[in-house]
Every structure is written in C-alpha cells, then in structure tokens.
Chains A and B, each alone.
Chain A
Amino acid sequence: MLELRAITRTYTLGGERAGVFEVSLSVAAGTLAVLAGPSGSGKTTLLQVAGLLEPPDDGEVLLEGVLVSGLSEKARCALRLEKLGFVFQSFNLVPVLDALENTMLPLQLQGFTEAQARDRASEMLARVGLADRLAHRPGQLSGGQQQRVAIARALAGSPRLVLADEPTANLDHAHGGPLLELMAVLARELGTAFLVASHDPAVIGRADAVFRLEDGRRLDA
C-alpha cells in the first residue's frame, strides 16, 4: 500500500540538522503500523512526507505501487483528498461544523452530493460509536469523542491510507485504548492501512508492524 524508499527530509533546528535520513519502510493494506520513537526522532516528519504534505529531499514515496513523491501540488491535493486520511494529535476538527458536517467535509470536497455525503458520514460516525452525537459541535464533545469524529472523517472518503500523528497523546488511557482498538478493527474491516506515529507503549503493543526511529534513522532496518 505505502512504500517509502530511502526518504531523507531535513530541516535545521537550533543550528543542527534534524529530520529523517534514508528511511525505508512499507505498510500493507489492512494493517496498523506504528512509527515508534521518542520526541524528535523524526516520526512526524516521516508522516508528513508519507502524507504528501511535504516533499522529500531525497527518496521516493509510492502509493499502491505508484510513485507519487514528485507530483505537482494540484495532484498531491487530489491524492490527499481521494486516497489519504489524516488524524491529528489535537483532533483538528472544524469548530463551526458539527460532527456530521465535519465527517461530510472530505466527501463533499470529493464531489459527493449532500445526501450521499450525509448517509456515508452518518454510517461512519455510527461505526465509531457516535450515532447519537451527529449534531454536536467539537466544543460539545469530549476529547475521545472528538478523536472518533476525526477518525470517522479520515475514513469517510474510503482512503487507502490513514496517517495518524500521536492520536492518543491528548487522551487518557481509558479513551486511548478503545480508540486504538477501533483503528485496528477498522483497518482490518475496511482494508485501509494505518500508519500511526506514537511513542505510547499501548499503541505500539497493538500494532501489526512497528518501525522504530531514533535521530531520524530506523533502528530496526
């Protein structure tokens, strides 16, 4: 599903060169893979490259076997919309939209009709256990519920790959555990690949594959 080949992406932080260096990995469809490592190890940078948010300085990104790292901004926008989903540490829901509208957002951007988007988004929210919270705005939901909405939003457009950056970091254990379980189940059921950046041992323990990073390099390569 996702293959990263010798990805290098660097930036200068406090006068030192940081980022990721020649990292390669692949994530299969229907699996939950984790990028593990301490803060500053390059997890987020690698997710940004895999999510086509930043181009690599060197190396290749392949999605479903197709090289996508050299595409134009417009083509990357289209790919993000149609094949990728994102889950952020701080949920990043649009505050003026309710749970249903937030979930409908990528569908409507894809061109689904209002009714189609509503049906699909309702279905996804039901799958993440929020069928009774459709009309709630983010401010009216708990952290765990907001992250479930974010997962529903990420999956609504039937992406091939979901990238999640520390999805449980802002949640307590009681909410984080079930959320991971949910992602693992959805990955298997929908055949969607999940690549999760986390240093949470609970997350790592539930992963189908773990890629350990330190100082921007893979430890287990």
Chain B
Amino acid sequence: MILLRLALRNVARQRRRTILSLAVLAAGFMALALAGGFMSQTFEGLADGAIRGGLGHVQILHPKALEGDEGQSLEFSLPDGEGLAARLRRDPAVAEVLPRIQFMGLLSSGPRSVAFLGNAVDPAREPRFMASLDQVKDGAKAIGGKGSRWLSADPAVREVILGIGLAKGLGASVGSGLTLMSTTKDGALNAVDVEVVGLQDLGLKELNDRTLTVSLETAAVLLDAGPARSRLSVLLKCPENAGPEALRLQALAKEGVVAQPWFELAAFYRQVRLLYFAIFGFMGLVLALVVLLATANTLLMSVLERVREFGTLRALGLRPGQLVVLLQLEGAVLGLLGSALGLALTLLLRAGLNALHLQMPAPPGTSHGYELRIFFVPGVYLAAFLGLQAVIQISALFPGLKAARLRITEALRHI
C-alpha cells in the first residue's frame, strides 16, 4: 500500500515529464485502437463481400473442383446438386442453400463474340441472401444499364445479366438480344438465345469484363445439366460456426463432396488480412519502441533524480526487490493513466471520423470506394492496453534494477 502511494505521488511529482509520457502513451493507444477499428471494418467488408458475393458461409463442391480449372463446364460437378440442396435445406443449422452452376463459353451479339465466365443462380432465392440486387443497381448507373432489373423467376424465360465491361465489349445494353454458346457436359456444342435484362457491377474490373449471370434453368438447358450443379453455397443461421459446420455438413452430404468454410476459399480476403497484419504489426512494433523509449527515459530520469531518496528508503529497511516493485508500480500507474487518456481520445476521434462520413478511394483492382467507419473493437482496445502495459513494465525494469543496485552509502551521499 505504501509503495502504491509512493508510486502515485512520484508519478505526480514531475508533472511536465509525466504529461509528456502520458501523451506518448495515449497517442500509442489511439493509433493502435483506431488502426484496429479500421482493420476490423476492412475485414468485415471483405468477409461480407466474399460471403454475399457468392461463397455463402460454406461451399459444397466436388473434391476435384478445388484442385484446378475444369476442362469443360460441369466436369467436376455435384451430379445431383439439386437433390443435395433440398436435403441440406432441411438441416436446422442451415438458413438457405443456393445451388450454382459455373460455366464458360462464348457470348455473341451477331458480328461480335466474347468469351465469358457464367454464373447460373436461382433467381428467386439468390437476391434474398446475396449481393446480386446491389450489383444490378450499381450496374444500372453504367452506360446501357438503364432499366436494369433482376432475372425473372419464370423457368421458361431466358434472360441474362452482363458485367458492365462485358456489355461494353459487345456493345450490348438492356434489351439487347444475345446468343450464349457453350458445350454440354457431354461435349456437344449448344446455344441459347437470351435477352439482356440488366447490367451488374461486381466491383472488380476483371470480373466486370468477363462475367454474366443467368438462371439455373437457362444454364441447365444450355449445358444439358439436369440436376447437376457446380457447387452449393450454404448460408448458416449462425455464420460464426462456419468452420465446424463445414465439417458436419461434409459428413451429412456423404462421400464424393467436400464442404469448405468461406474463409478457406476467399483467397483475396486471406491475402489482404495477412497484408494488414504485417503492416499493422510493423506499425505496432514501431509504436512499442517509441513507448518503450519514452517511458524508460521518464522512469530513468526519475530514478536519477531520486538517488538519495532511494538510499534513504534502503537505509530504512526497504529491500532491493521492493524498489523494483516501486518502479513497476510507477510504470503501471503511467500505463493506466495513459491508456485511459488514449481510450477517451480514441472514442472522441472515432465518433468524429464516423460522423464525417468520409469516402475512401476504391482499393486497387476494385471499382468501388467505401465510407470510412472505424469500428469499436473491445478486443483490440484490450490488446492495445495490455500490449502497451507490457512494454511499460519492461521499460520500468531497467530503472528499477538500477535503483535496486545502488549502494546505500553512496546513494545517501548523492547530491
């Protein structure tokens, strides 16, 4: 208790130096907490983009589909994908199962033909869970996109939604009539006439230049697919359980399929996550070094100014280890005050930044900017506090040991 009292008083003793140390600590906390909040927003955005972009929470597919590209459409498919989807929809943990066919072929407008990557989806179920309608709305802003709408749920209607780059390459717009050409799963050439009912902006130029979306029935006719599907996107009632649920669903679906949680398949998400961790890890190291030097300097100066006081305390019977504890307590007090100040400033700055609705530029390779939102992430705040506190306690160790090693009689003579 007496050591804590001494620590509190000593921290308050050199106010200017303490304020400077607190400012460094608060800035360090703020930088880590805001960066963590920004990272969290980015990760959530990327995760949401991956899940709602088509992956769902769990993907069920043919094992070979994971290994490489198909030589032709539906080469590695689920032979009774529709039946499996119907069975999985009855599972209590499953919110929805969206069968998909991924195929490739040529899209012709008469004089011009362009290779495409096709996505066939269930027009009725898809927009309820995926970002399809948002993409169509964004596509509607593009040239030729006026009047864009989602695909009809009527199985007899043959419609297509084009990526904005693909439409531009073909000179097609909403209302254009086009011909889809591909090979059936048996290798025969087939074609289907479709009407463009909308354009879609998928956010990535490479996708916009190649991708089109049709109904499952249209693709099934084109590919003679029957009930075969490329993959099933499963949406869970508890998305955070994607990992364990994937294992369970794989067992449920029996042999011949694999079930993968979305994060295993979202390569871009994982790469960005790694990159951010590397960047912010480095930033954290630099911050830790700054905090270490600032607090070590403060505490060391404090020790050098109190040599005679330490000599007196030692003469009175204070053990060397208690002097180390005293300096650790002073560090702890500094850390607590600095983090508290940092927390207050972080919350203020976060509220201010979020209120400004700042628009961030589109990340490389994407066509959409996004609004800056700094998330409140208690785990990051706790980690920032604990990390800084650990750095401070380490920085207090050397001054503490220096004080503990003082020779009492020399310390008492110190002026």
Is the A/B pair a real complex?
yes
Residues on A facing B (Cβ under 8 Å): 48, 51, 53-54, 73-74, 77-78, 80-82, 84, 86, 88, 90, 92, 94-97, 101, 104-106, 108-110, 114, 153
Contacts of A94 in B (CB 8 A): 6, 309, 312-313
B318 lies within 8 A of chain A by Cβ: yes
Contacts of B6 in A (CB 8 A): 94, 96-97
B315, A51: Cβ atoms under 8 Å? yes
**Which residue of A73, A80, A90, A95 contacts B316 across the interface (Cβ within 8 Å)?**
A80
Contacts of B1 in A (CB 8 A): 108, 114
A88, B317: Cβ atoms under 8 Å? no
* Central interface residue in A96, A104, A105, by most chain B CB within 10 Å: A96
The smallest beta-carbon distance between B231 and chain A, in angstroms, is 70
Contacts of A106 in B (CB 8 A): 316-317
A88, B312: Cβ atoms under 8 Å? yes
B308, A92: Cβ atoms under 8 Å? yes
The smallest beta-carbon distance between B233 and chain A, in angstroms, is 66
B317, A78: Cβ atoms under 8 Å? yes
- Considering the chains assembled together, what is the distance between the CA atoms of A129 and B257 in angstroms? 92
Contacts of A74 in B (CB 8 A): 319
Name 9 extra pairs, CB < 8 A, besides A86-B315, A96-B9, A108-B1.
A48-B409, A73-B320, A88-B412, A92-B312, A96-B10, A104-B2, A106-B316, A106-B317, A109-B316
Contacts of B322 in A (CB 8 A): 109
Which residue of B has the minimal Cβ distance to A74?
A: B319
Please count the residue pairs between chain A and chain B whose beta carbons lie under 8 angstroms apart in the complex. Answer: 64
* Central interface residue in A48, A51, A109, by most chain B CB within 10 Å: A109
- Considering the chains assembled together, what is the distance between the CA atoms of A86 and B6 in angstroms? 20
B13 lies within 8 A of chain A by Cβ: yes
B408 lies within 8 A of chain A by Cβ: yes
* Central interface residue in B13, B316, B317, by most chain A CB within 10 Å: B317
The smallest beta-carbon distance between B171 and chain A, in angstroms, is 82
A109, B2: Cβ atoms under 8 Å? yes
- Considering the chains assembled together, what is the distance between the CA atoms of A88 and B412 in angstroms? 9
A81, B317: Cβ atoms under 8 Å? yes
Within 8 A of A (CB), among B296-328: 308-309, 311-320, 322
Which residue of B has the minimal Cβ distance to A11?
A: B409
A105, B319: Cβ atoms under 8 Å? no
Number of interface residues of B (CB under 8 A): 24
Decide yes or no: A54 and B409 within 8 Å by CB, A80-B315, A80-B317, A106-B316 being known contacts.
Answer: yes
B5 lies within 8 A of chain A by Cβ: yes
- Considering the chains assembled together, what is the distance between the CA atoms of A66 and B367 in angstroms? 87
B317, A109: Cβ atoms under 8 Å? yes
B316, A81: Cβ atoms under 8 Å? yes
Contacts of B409 in A (CB 8 A): 48, 53-54
A95, B309: Cβ atoms under 8 Å? yes
Contacts of A73 in B (CB 8 A): 320
- Considering the chains assembled together, what is the distance between the CA atoms of A19 and B155 in angstroms? 109
- Considering the chains assembled together, what is the distance between the CA atoms of A153 and B316 in angstroms? 9
Contacts of B2 in A (CB 8 A): 104-105, 108-109
The smallest beta-carbon distance between B315 and chain A, in angstroms, is 5
**Which residue of B9, B12, B309, B318 contacts A77 across the interface (Cβ within 8 Å)?**
B318
Decide yes or no: A82 and B317 within 8 Å by CB, A88-B412, A96-B6, A96-B10 being known contacts.
Answer: yes
- Considering the chains assembled together, what is the distance between the CA atoms of A97 and B412 in angstroms? 18
Which residue of A has the minimal Cβ distance to B2?
A: A108
- Considering the chains assembled together, what is the distance between the CA atoms of A94 and B315 in angstroms? 13
Which residue of B has the minimal Cβ distance to A92?
A: B312
- Considering the chains assembled together, what is the distance between the CA atoms of A1 and B1 in angstroms? 33
Contacts of B5 in A (CB 8 A): 97, 101
A86, B316: Cβ atoms under 8 Å? yes
Contacts of A48 in B (CB 8 A): 409
Which residue of A has the minimal Cβ distance to B10?
A: A96
Contacts of A82 in B (CB 8 A): 317
- Considering the chains assembled together, what is the distance between the CA atoms of A81 and B314 in angstroms? 9
The smallest beta-carbon distance between A104 and chain B, in angstroms, is 7
- Considering the chains assembled together, what is the distance between the CA atoms of A86 and B313 in angstroms? 11
- Considering the chains assembled together, what is the distance between the CA atoms of A96 and B7 in angstroms? 10
Closest 3 pairs (CB-CB, A-B): A81-B317, A96-B9, A108-B2
B10, A109: Cβ atoms under 8 Å? no
- Considering the chains assembled together, what is the distance between the CA atoms of A90 and B413 in angstroms? 10
The smallest beta-carbon distance between A160 and chain B, in angstroms, is 14
The smallest beta-carbon distance between B4 and chain A, in angstroms, is 11
Contacts of A53 in B (CB 8 A): 315, 408-409, 412
Contacts of A104 in B (CB 8 A): 2
24 A–B pairs (Cβ distance < 8 Å), ordered by A: A51-B315, A53-B315, A53-B408, A53-B409, A73-B320, A77-B317, A80-B317, A81-B317, A88-B312, A90-B308, A94-B6, A94-B309, A94-B312, A94-B313, A95-B13, A96-B10, A97-B6, A105-B313, A106-B316, A106-B317, A108-B1, A109-B317, A109-B322, A114-B1
The smallest beta-carbon distance between A197 and chain B, in angstroms, is 13
